[in-house]
Structure 1
Amino acid sequence: MLSRYLPVFLILALLAEVLGTIGGFGSSVFFVPVANFYFDFQSVLGITALFHLSSNVTKIAFFRKGLDKRLLLYLGIPAIIFVSIGAFLSKYVNPGMLGLILGVFLIVLSLVFLIFKKLVVKDSNKNAIAGGVLSGLSAGLLGTGGAIRGITMAAFKMDKATFIATSAAIDFGVDASRVVIYYYNGYMHQDHLYIAGLLLIVAIVGTWIGKRILAYFSQEQFRTLVLVLILIIGIASVFSDYIKM
């Protein structure tokens, strides 16, 4: 089936990469629903991890000057630890209900920050750790945790370059951890390797396009854009998982 629709799949993957770069929280939140049309859920997890790994290497190269070392420590380490736990549990948990809960959570949280624009989440290590735990667990279980991490980082109101570079660096550690577990879980297949190679090219081109588009957004516009994209992701997630139930 995929060979017949490969051009469409790659175009959708490119769009997911561009939007993921603009939003700053990675392509997986858009790519997972696309890949679900072509592969079984476990294969989606494996392919998404490989795609995201190459995507984040590209983002780090393009935005390398903006790393926030404190968030790498307090948000990144919990995310890496809990993605391993989530990846292990993915064999035993029904992803449909979790996806529905995640979608509702993203809708409520993004609406709160969009409506109450002056609302500020305290820029604290405790909040960073909580965001890391939730995003890591979600990434391991559902294949995507960038939206949770994105909404955490958006609350801290950091500049665009720091947001994207830090998010990509954390994601790289998360993806490297779950790739190993997904491999041992049997989620990766030899006949999918050529797809991973094509997606590497998609990641480079999509990140470059996304970076060019970002130059036209102010800092406040960027934060609003992140929240709107997360709202859309939440609605799509709820609708998709509700239909499957």
Structure 2
Amino acid sequence: MDYFLLFIILALAAEILGTVGGFGSSLFFVPIASFFLDFHSVLGITAIFHVSSNLTKIAFFRKGLDKNLMIWVGTPAILFVIIGAYFSNLFNSKILEIILACFLIITSLTFLFFKQIILKPTIKNSVLGGIFSGLIAGLIGTGGAIRGITLTSFGLTIETFIATSAFIDLGVDLSRSIVYYNNGFVHKHDLYLIPFLLIASILGTFIGKKLLNYISENRFKSIVLILILITGVITFLKLTIFSN
């Protein structure tokens, strides 16, 4: 199969899983894209792709927005994603990829085996969740799992969860896109991918929303976590064993 077509199909799959699982597509898209592009290019293209992805989610789920959570989680996330994005230019890209792989493995295993883990729905935890998710998103390209943990503690409906997360993520992605551009991560020769990724984000969100009507949220999230684990393991092996 042509690598370009495979890349777009996998981006579509990442968008579908990100919509239904509630983590956001970047959790899947970043490690997938790292097989096709260098890691700094992945950070740049992911931020731009995610802007269109979140605009699509907002269009589909806009009625569910929780404005208070958008402020308490979103504001610190936007501030700290700028810090994380700035420091991403100071680290070796392979180190960041290994951090990403370990992050995916630890996150998936934690929530597969310790499903009882929840955060108390407090303003303090909202702010801390926003800080950590923003910092991680800036450094390694994805902080959706941490933001998801934070929002889940408030017992939100699926529509409210996705809409609020998408609004926060939009601010995060717009902010880090600017920093990544200044860091030289957005390359002109990669921009041809944007229209195709835009189509993938719209179609993937549409399919994901339809699937939410037929699939148990808890059951599907277990499947999503397993896929995250597999993605993390493959990424780690690629960097540590197969690169030698």
SS of corresponding position for 2:37? coil
CA RMSD of aligned residues (A): 2.5
For residues 190 and 113 of structure 1, what CA distance do their matches in structure 2 show? Answer: 39
What is residue 171 of structure 1 aligned with on the other side? 169
CA contact (8 A) 1:79 1:133 kept: yes
**Is 2:134 aligned against 1:136?**
yes
What is residue 46 of structure 1 aligned with on the other side? 44
Mark the CA change 1:200 to 1:105 in structure 2 (over 3 Å): closer, same or farther.
Answer: closer
> Alignment length, in residue pairs?
243
Structure 1: state its 5+ residue gaps.
Answer: none
Mark the CA change 1:207 to 1:112 in structure 2 (over 3 Å): closer, same or farther.
Answer: same
What is residue 81 of structure 1 aligned with on the other side? 79
For residues 110 and 56 of structure 1, what CA distance do their matches in structure 2 show? Answer: 23
1:37-186 alignment, distance < 5 Å: 37-101=35-99, 103-104=101-102, 107-108=105-106, 110-186=108-184
What is residue 14 of structure 1 aligned with on the other side? 12
Give how far 1:33 is off. Answer: 1.4
CA contact (8 A) 2:72 2:123 kept: yes
Give how far 1:61 is off. Answer: 0.4
Structure 2: state its 5+ residue gaps.
Answer: none
CA contact (8 A) 2:75 2:130 kept: yes
For residues 210 and 27 of structure 1, what CA distance do their matches in structure 2 show? Answer: 11
Instruction: Give 1:142's aligned amino acid.
Output: I
Instruction: Give 2:25's aligned amino acid.
Output: S
For residues 181 and 200 of structure 1, what CA distance do their matches in structure 2 show? Answer: 21
Mark the CA change 1:239 to 1:147 in structure 2 (over 3 Å): closer, same or farther.
Answer: farther
For residues 219 and 190 of structure 1, what CA distance do their matches in structure 2 show? Answer: 39
Give how far 1:157 is off. Answer: 3.0
Deviates more, 1:194-203 or 1:229-238: 229-238
Render the CA deviation track for 1:184-217: whole Å, top value 9, x for unaligned.
1111122222211111111100100011011113
